[in-house]
């Protein structure tokens, strides 16, 4: 380290200091459990979904880990009751369709007050079913043990059931955001052989909210800065380019034209391209 042109070189000896927080892979929790790690690589993990209010006795969130043919549901359970220990904590789920079958559960052996532990439910996708959005009812089941301040048990344990909020596994859970370097070129080279077109009305009052919602519905990555609605283009249609990949590894591209019509509200015209017409149609179904 020396001076160059009288300026002090402050570059650290071992290269620039990175202040970026280390990104934790949410799927690491799954890989840490041998029975779950054997299912293979997690394709994508959702954000934790609250299944209770934050001020309740038990605070529960659910993270959906999507794999090829399976979904591993991670239930993060916090016990906030001082004089209670929870044992054999498991989440019992029931879907409203035949797309998924529950094939296994891993319970949390014990959760003391102030502790947060995970239990898991494994779903298998039924081979003969096309994916469709599935809503699940959910219940926490455990043995509750009353304890004193020293942790000694007071009396027998008793079985408890605690109803959680319903949650959904949607088509967009099976899509990952993947960047393409040149959207226009990728769009042209993919061709329109498996293109699916749709025109729908959306219940939004302005373009900014409508564009954000379409991105959210599809779970794909906006390209070429098309997620930003320009104020000066008021009255003109907004073009949105999206790219992603399906759990099967199939690339998906979408072009959407979003128009704010003073009389009918927001109108969405969307074209989806992929290597498979059925998949393009499936992606279109994400629009709610």
172-218 residue pLDDT tens: 999 999 999 899 999 999 999 999 999 999 988 888 899 999 999 99
Q: What is the per-residue pLDDT across 222-244, written as a single tens digit (0 to 9) for each?
A: 998 989 888 766 678 899 999 99
List, for residues 32-45, the tens digit of each pLDDT value: 999 999 999 999 99
Q: Count other Cβ atoms within 10 Å, centred on residue 281.
A: 15
User: In this prediction, what percent of the chain has a pLDDT beyond 90?
Assistant: 66
Q: For residue 164, what are the contacts with CB-CB under 8 A and spacing of at least 6? A: 51, 52, 60, 91, 138, 139, 140
> In this predicted structure, what is the pLDDT of residue 11?
44
pTM, rounded to two decimals? 0.84
Alpha helices in the chain, H assignment, sequence order? 28-31, 34-37, 183-190, 207-218, 277-284
């Amino acid at each position: 380290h020396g001076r160059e042109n009288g300026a002090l070189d402050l570059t650290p000896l071992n290269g620039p200091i990175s202040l970026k927080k280390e990104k934790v892979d949410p799927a690491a929790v799954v890989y840490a459990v041998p029975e779950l790690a054997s299912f293979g690589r997690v394709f994508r993990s959702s954000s934790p979904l609250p299944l209770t209010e934050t001020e309740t006795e038990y605070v529960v969130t659910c993270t959906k880990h999507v794999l090829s043919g399976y979904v591993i549901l991670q239930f993060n359970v916090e016990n906030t009751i001082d004089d209670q220990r929870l044992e054999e904590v498991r989440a019992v789920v029931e879907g409203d369709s035949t797309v998924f079958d529950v094939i296994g559960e891993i319970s949390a052996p014990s959760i003391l007050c102030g502790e947060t532990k995970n239990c898991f439910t494994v779903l298998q996708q039924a081979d003969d079913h096309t994916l469709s959005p599935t809503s699940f009812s959910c219940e926490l089941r455990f043995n509750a043990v009353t304890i004193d301040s020293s942790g000694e048990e007071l009396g027998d344990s008793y079985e408890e059931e605690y109803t959680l909020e319903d949650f959904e596994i949607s088509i967009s859970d099976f899509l990952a955001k993947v960047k393409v370097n040149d959207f226009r070129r990728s769009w042209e080279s993919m061709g329109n052989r498996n293109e699916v077109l749709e025109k729908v009305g959306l219940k939004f009052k302005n373009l900014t909210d409508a564009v954000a919602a379409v991105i959210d519905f599809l779970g794909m990555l906006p390209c070429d800065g098309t997620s930003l609605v320009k104020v000066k283009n008021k009255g003109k249609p907004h073009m949105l380019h999206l790219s992603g990949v399906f759990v099967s590894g199939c690339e998906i591209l979408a072009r959407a034209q979003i128009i704010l019509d003073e009389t009918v509200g927001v109108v969405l015209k969307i074209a989806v391209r992929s290597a498979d017409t059925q998949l393009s149609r499936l992606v279109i179904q994400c629009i709610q």
